[in-house]
Each structure stands twice: as structure tokens, then as C-alpha cells.
């Protein structure tokens, strides 16, 4: 079993939460050092930051559910990181950034 920290469409009451219907919700937690923003299409994303807080729900999930979450998140420019919550170490999906700050250095396709 793994722990998953959710902050957007996977949280209770949101449209992707059905993927967690058989998972145990351990509770909410406030996590430091991330900033949340809205992507087009009304999707949330987080990136590392300083002195910002986000609210997450932490679930205990099976490996099968974890694979489904990866299929949901990874194709859309997110990657998995681990964070410490009051329930233990959990996976959270963070939006990919261009660390160099130079589009041409990271992009193989140019317009």
C-alpha cells in the first residue's frame, strides 16, 4: 500500500475522485513549499515554492490504483515526488517546469 496526497480533481467531491472510491481517506493535511495555480481547462497544478501552503487529502491506495493515477497524471506534464505528511511519506504529482528558464534548451520542437 502507498500513500497519495491529492490537491485537485482527485479530492473528494471532484470529478476524478471516482478513481479513489475504494481507497481509504486518511485525512487532510497542509503542505508547505508549493504554489497552486489553474491550468487552462480548469485543471490544478502545483510547483515548488517558498513560504506557500497547499491543502491536500491523503489516501492509502493499492498498487493497482497507483498505476491508474499515473496514467491520469503523467501524460499531462506532471511527475511524481514524495512529501512528508502527518500520515507518512506520500506521493504527490507536481507540474513539470523548465528549470533552465530557456525554452530552446528544453524544447526539441521549435515553431
Catalytic residue IDs: 73
In the beta sheet, which residues pair with residue 52?
Answer: none
> Residue with C-alpha cell 492509502?
60
Three-state DSSP class for 19? helix
> Residue with C-alpha cell 476524478?
16
Cell of residue 88, nine digits: 507518512
Instruction: Give dist(CA 64, CA 83) in Å, integer.
Output: 21
> Residue with C-alpha cell 500513500?
3
Amino acid at each position: 500500500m502507498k500513500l497519495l496526497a491529492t490537491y485537485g480533481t482527485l479530492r473528494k467531491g471532484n470529478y476524478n475522485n471516482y478513481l479513489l472510491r475504494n481507497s481509504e481517506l486518511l485525512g487532510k493535511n497542509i503542505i508547505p513549499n508549493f504554489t497552486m495555480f489553474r491550468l487552462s481547462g480548469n485543471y490544478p497544478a502545483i510547483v515548488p515554492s517558498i513560504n506557500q501552503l497547499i491543502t491536500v487529502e491523503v489516501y492509502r491506495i493499492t498498487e493497482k490504483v497507483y498505476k491508474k493515477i499515473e496514467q491520469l497524471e503523467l501524460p499531462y506534464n506532471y511527475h511524481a515526488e514524495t512529501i512528508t505528511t502527518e500520515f507518512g511519506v506520500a506521493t504527490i504529482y507536481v507540474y513539470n517546469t523548465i528549470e533552465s528558464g530557456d525554452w530552446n534548451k528544453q524544447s526539441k520542437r521549435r515553431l
